[in-house]
Amino acid sequence: MKCVHLTSAHDARDARILLKECMALKGAGMDVAQVAPGGEEGEHCGVKLCSVRVLHGRWKRMTSTAWQVYRAALRLKADVYHFHDPELIPAGLLLKLHGKRVVYDVHEDLPRQIYSKEWLPPLGRGAVALMARALERVAALACDAIVVATPAIARRFPPKKTVLVQNYPRREEYQCLDAPRDFTRSRRLIYVGQIAQIRGIKEMVRAMSFLPPSSDARLALVGAFESVALAEEVRGLPGFERVDCLGERSREEVRALMSECCAGLVLFLPEPNHLEAQPTKLYEYMAAGLPVIASNFPHWRSIVEEPGCGLVADPCDPPAIAAVIQRLLEAPEEAAAMGSRGRELARTRYSWEAEAVKLVELYRRLSK
C-alpha cells in the first residue's frame, strides 16, 4: 500500500506526522510519503519527503499552500491520502472525487479552538465555529476514516469511522533519561512549546517573582514566541530576571535540557479548547522523569495529580503557581518520587507504541 500524509500548516519534521505516524506505517511495510511546506526533498528513514514553497500569511497558507500540497500529493498516485489540517478538507474532498481513500487526522477541537483565535473578531467567532463544525461534518461523511488525537475530539465524529490515536511519546526517545537524577541539585524549571498568551506565559513569568528572594530557581523557555509584541511585553514583566529564553531547539537538545531540570510546566489558560486537551509536552515531561506542574482542569488533574506524578495550580493565579513550585523545590524526595511515577506511567500507559498499532490496523482495514 502506498500512502501520503499531507500538511499545509505543520512543520516538515512534525513529531506526530513524520516521526510517529509516517514512521509507524513505514515500519509496517508500507510505501510512505509526506508533503509539507518547507523542509528538504529526500527521505527520512525510508519516508519520502516532498516539499512545497512556504508562503507567509495565514490566508496564503490556507489557500495557495493548501492547493500546492494537494497537487503535489496527487502526483504521487497513492492509495491512501491522510491529511492533517482542516484547511485541507477541500483537498480531501477532491481526492475522494479521484477515487482515493482519504483519512482526516484531527489534532485539535477546531470549533472550540476558534473561540480563542485573537485574529478573529469576537462577535464573529461563534459563526465561524458553526461553519467549521459544518465543514468537519462534511469531511466525516466523505472520508473513509477519521483519526483523532483525544477522546474529547472523538465524541464529535461517527464512532464507526473514528480511530483514537493519542499523541503519546515514543519510549525509545526517552530511554536515555531513565537514570535517576539528583533533585537536591537541580533548581531549573522548563516549559517547552509555542510561547503564547493563552498558554500562560505571562502567569508563569510572574509566578517566578513570587518565589522567595533567596531562591535560585530559574525558568527555561524553549520555543518561539507567537509574536514580537508578546516577547517584548514578557521581557518587561516582574520575574523575567529569573527566566532564560532559549529559543527553538532540536528534540535531542530538548531532552538534554530536561535531564537538567526539576519540573516541567504546562499551565495553559482555561480556554474552551484547553479544558480536555492533552498537550504532548505533558506526557513528554513524564517520560523524561520530570514532575509536572499543570493547570487545575479536572481532566488534567486526573492525569497528573491523582496518580501522583505532579501538582496542579490555578493557571490564572501566579502566587498559587509559585507556591506549587516552591513546594517541589523544598521537597526533592517527593519530586523524585513524582518523576519516577510519571516515567513509569509514560512507559506502561502513555506510550506511542500502543497507539501506533491502532493506526496500522486502520490502514490494513482500508487496504481490503
Domain locations along the chain: 2-168+351-366, 171-348
Selection from 2, 25, 31, 10 nearest residue 355 by Cα: 25
Domain 171-348 has CATH 3.40.50.2000: yes
Q: What is the pTM of this model?
A: 0.92
What 3-state DSSP class applies to 85? Answer: coil
What does pLDDT average to over the chain? 94
Q: How confident is the model at residue 365 (pLDDT cuts 50, 70, 90)?
A: very high
Residue 366 predicted with pLDDT over 90: yes
* 2-168+351-366 matches 171-348 in fold: yes
Mean pLDDT of 342-356: 94
The answer to whether the CB of 183 falls within 8 A of the CB of 332 is yes
Q: How confident is the model at residue 123 (pLDDT cuts 50, 70, 90)?
A: confident
Which CATH architecture best describes the domain 2-168+351-366? 3-Layer(aba) Sandwich (3.40)
Residue 293 predicted with pLDDT over 80: yes
Residues 6+ apart with CB under 8 A from 240: 205, 208, 234
Give the residue carrying C-alpha cell 521581557: 235
